[in-house]
Amino acid sequence: MDFLQSILFGIVEGITEFLPISSTGHLILTAKLLGLEQTDFLKTFEISIQLGAILSVVVLYWKTLAMNHEVLKRVITAFMPTAVIGLALYKIIKRVFFASEGLILWSLFLGGLFLIVFELLYARKRATTEELEKISYPTCLLIGLFQSIAMIPGVSRSAATIVGGLILGVHRKTIVEFSFLLAVPTMLAATGLDLAKNVGAFSTDQLQYLAVGFAVSFGAALLGVKFLLAYVKNHSFLLFGAYRVVLAVLFRLLVPR
């Protein structure tokens, strides 16, 4: 890896983190296109630069996170299923899931089809919860379980939580914002766990690449968050579903194994 590649990874991460298209899947496929092997460092890099994107949420929603205790309690509740399942499956996720290009492509493809079908079926479903503070605790736990599905790279944490919230009757804009907030403890935990286990084995140059990727992903994610909030006011996720399907098919057909 070099600095230009770390910048590219940061841009890809920041743009895709909060869109329902899987940032982790995009990072792994980007590495494949660049001819980079999925080493322990690269796997940690792909996880850790997501923290830069998450920092953008802290900057944009710091008042909500710091002062709205009702919202904070709901975010923590939703985080618990992922924390338990993620800790139990950490080794499998990193050693097996991250190494399987086929799994990622199938996740992108099937997830895209699901988004398309979901939007067609639920286009007129009326939301019953329009405020973050009014999301019930059982609903928060179920949203957390939906998020846990995204431990499979290619599924998309954003897609899993947003679709889960829509199924449970949460307003589209509300669940999008809840997904942003839920990303904070989720990615803090994932990144902290991975760095604690691996950071001591990396060279100074590798840590510099991490820092660059982190900073670039922060800036790109600020734009990504604002784009998605504006987009969901008048659009469904049909376009994202189609994009996932096309990406998976083209990558399978055109990129040599």
The boundaries of the domain holding residue 70 are 3-254
**pLDDT reported for residue 106:** 92
pTM of the model: 0.87
The partner residues of 170 in beta bridges, in order of sequence, read 129
Q: Give the number of domains in the chain.
A: 1
Helix (H, G, I), strand (E, B) or coil at 129: strand
Partners of 59 in the β-ladder: none
Q: Are 137 and 77 in contact (CB under 8 A)?
A: yes
Q: List Cα–Cα distances, 243 to 5, 49, 110, 115, in angstroms.
A: 24, 24, 12, 10
Per DSSP, the three-state class of 170 is: strand
CA distances from 163 to 9, 11, 97, 229, 247 (A): 26, 25, 22, 15, 20
One pLDDT digit (tens) per residue for the chain, 257 residues: 888 999 999 999 999 999 999 988 899 899 989 988 878 788 888 888 888 888 898 999 988 888 899 999 999 999 999 889 888 877 787 777 777 788 899 999 999 999 999 988 876 567 777 789 999 999 999 999 999 998 888 899 999 999 999 999 899 889 999 999 999 988 888 777 777 777 666 778 888 988 999 999 999 999 999 999 899 888 889 999 999 999 999 998 988 76
